[in-house]
Amino acid sequence: MGGGYSEPIVAGVPAVHVSKLNMSGKPVKGGFSSGPKTMEKIRTRSDFCLLKIVEQDIVRKAFSQWAKAEAATYLDFVLEVNEMKNSSAGLQQRVKIIEIFGKFIPEKAKKKLTGLDSATRRTIMLAFETKTYDPNVFDLAYEKAYQTLKFDYMPQFLISDDFMKLEDNTSVRRGSAGTLIEIKVILSDAKALKAFTLYLQAQVSKPEQLQYMRLWEDISDFKKDYEKMNGADANKRAKKLWETVKAGLQLPSHLRVTTNDNVNGNKNAEKGPGMDCFDDVQNFLCDMLQAENQRAFLVSKEYQDFLANAPDDYKLDSVVLTLKDFKEDRQLEKTKDDFVTDLNMLLRLENVLEDPLLTAYFRRFLRISFQEENYLFFQDVQDMKVQHYIKAASTEISPDMSLGEILEVTAVKIFDKFIKAGAMFQVNISADVREEVVRMVENNEITANMYVRGAVRCGASEASCE
């Protein structure tokens, strides 16, 4: 930790982490806690997503139900340490520290952190034995639990059926906002819009973004008031708004032409330009605001302050859609599909037999499970099919023999070794396949593929044993 690994303080126990000692060489209060440099950390987007799982009750419950016992214990530990750190210093906090220790750290603890390394565990134990613990005594264990949750469990949870159910419920409520909370959703909620305005006002290096939002509001006000206006007033207001838009926004040429036709193409002064005359411009503004501000706003203080008082469904949807967006950006589902495809390809018997190392392991497995004859049979059948002879028949094959004669010698060798009743390596194939092979040998109907059906049965048996 702060001072790295030290020599064992007590003979016979693992090396422990010690930050500092007093003049007498004894640990001081907090001496077994992490040094500040050790606990310096850079939090990334994946950390932000894990914190969302930890903080949102419904998502946390789904994670706990999905997770294995070890992951649930890590999550409980992280939550309880967070609660302890946020409690007032004094008796209440000291009691909580002792509760956490008793629940998670000792070897016989009710919820022992099973993956915690012995040095870290022993360090915490010594802090309590010497009564020098402080609120930071669990920091290193906390970070190890946190990183395990982030790297080992969170990615799997995000592609699980449990998380997919949360996604489906969110999509039903949010409608078109099927990805990360869309700026359009934020702009359509008065309180969220206020938070977004405060955020944009703080972005002094991007004043145009606030201007874009104001234009979006102006168009929304126009649409809200449209039914209250007569045709002449609607035309007048639309023309004025169009001049404001052109002055404050660099539109693509096709949008400029289309919107200009919508606003100025109306020749009937008594008829308005239509409530939807600025829809394309408004969608363009949303795209601009979303591309430039979406992610940064969702991790801003302004958005977090808004979420603190937002409806529960909105909070849940914000978390789920944020996690969904992270999952899609990291291509977790595609990675899983590619992995499963590659694994299935690897485990196909033909591919295993092409790799010498995999073949050696596979044959060892078959030997200890009393199925090695299946492997030997399959190999000989493959050799007969591809090169028309097997190694065991090579001594009986001469250069002047025809292909038919070579196949006949090979077929008999395989028959005597694997098919014949009482053979040393007799394989377990179905009665109809055995009868067919016997008939072909007796009638001299020899082909390179005559044993393939039997080999496929044996290969399927082997694959199922993997």
CA distance 141 to 262: 64
Pick the CATH number of 350-465 from 3.90.1720.10, 1.10.167.10, 1.10.760.10, 1.25.40.10: 1.10.167.10
Q: For residue 5, list its beta bridge partners.
A: 17
Domain 189-310 has CATH 1.10.167.10: yes
**In a 3-state reduction of DSSP, which class is residue 64?**
helix
In order, the DSSP letters of 92-123 are HHHHHHHHHHHHHSSTT-TT--TT--HHHHHH
pLDDT at 15: 54
Q: Sign of the CA dihedral 272, 277, 279, 284?
A: negative
Q: Given the structure tokens 């002879």, which residue do they identify?
A: 389
Quick: pLDDT tens for 38-93: 555 556 778 878 877 887 888 888 898 888 788 889 999 999 998 998 888 889 99
Range list of H helices, 7-135 = 45-55, 57-66, 69-86, 91-104, 118-129
Domain 45-153 has CATH 3.40.50.720: no
pLDDT at 375: 81
Distances (CA, A) of 94 to 75, 100, 424, 454: 21, 10, 73, 71
CA distance 272 to 72: 61
To which H or E segment does residue 408 belong?
Answer: helix 403-414
Domain 45-153 and domain 350-465 have a common topology = yes
CA distance 372 to 424: 12
| Radius of gyration, alpha carbons of the chain | 36
pLDDT at 3: 40
Q: Tokens for 8?
A: 């064992």
Quick: pLDDT tens for 409-460: 888 888 888 888 888 888 888 888 888 888 888 888 888 888 877 666 555 4
List the domain boundaries for the chain. Answer: 45-153, 189-310, 350-465
Mean pLDDT, range 342-368, rounded to an integer: 71
- Mean confidence (pLDDT) of the chain: 80
Q: Sign of the CA dihedral 89, 90, 92, 97?
A: positive
pLDDT exceeds cutoff 60 at 341? yes
Percent of the chain with pLDDT strictly greater than 90: 16
pLDDT exceeds cutoff 80 at 352? no
| pTM reported for the whole predicted model | 0.49
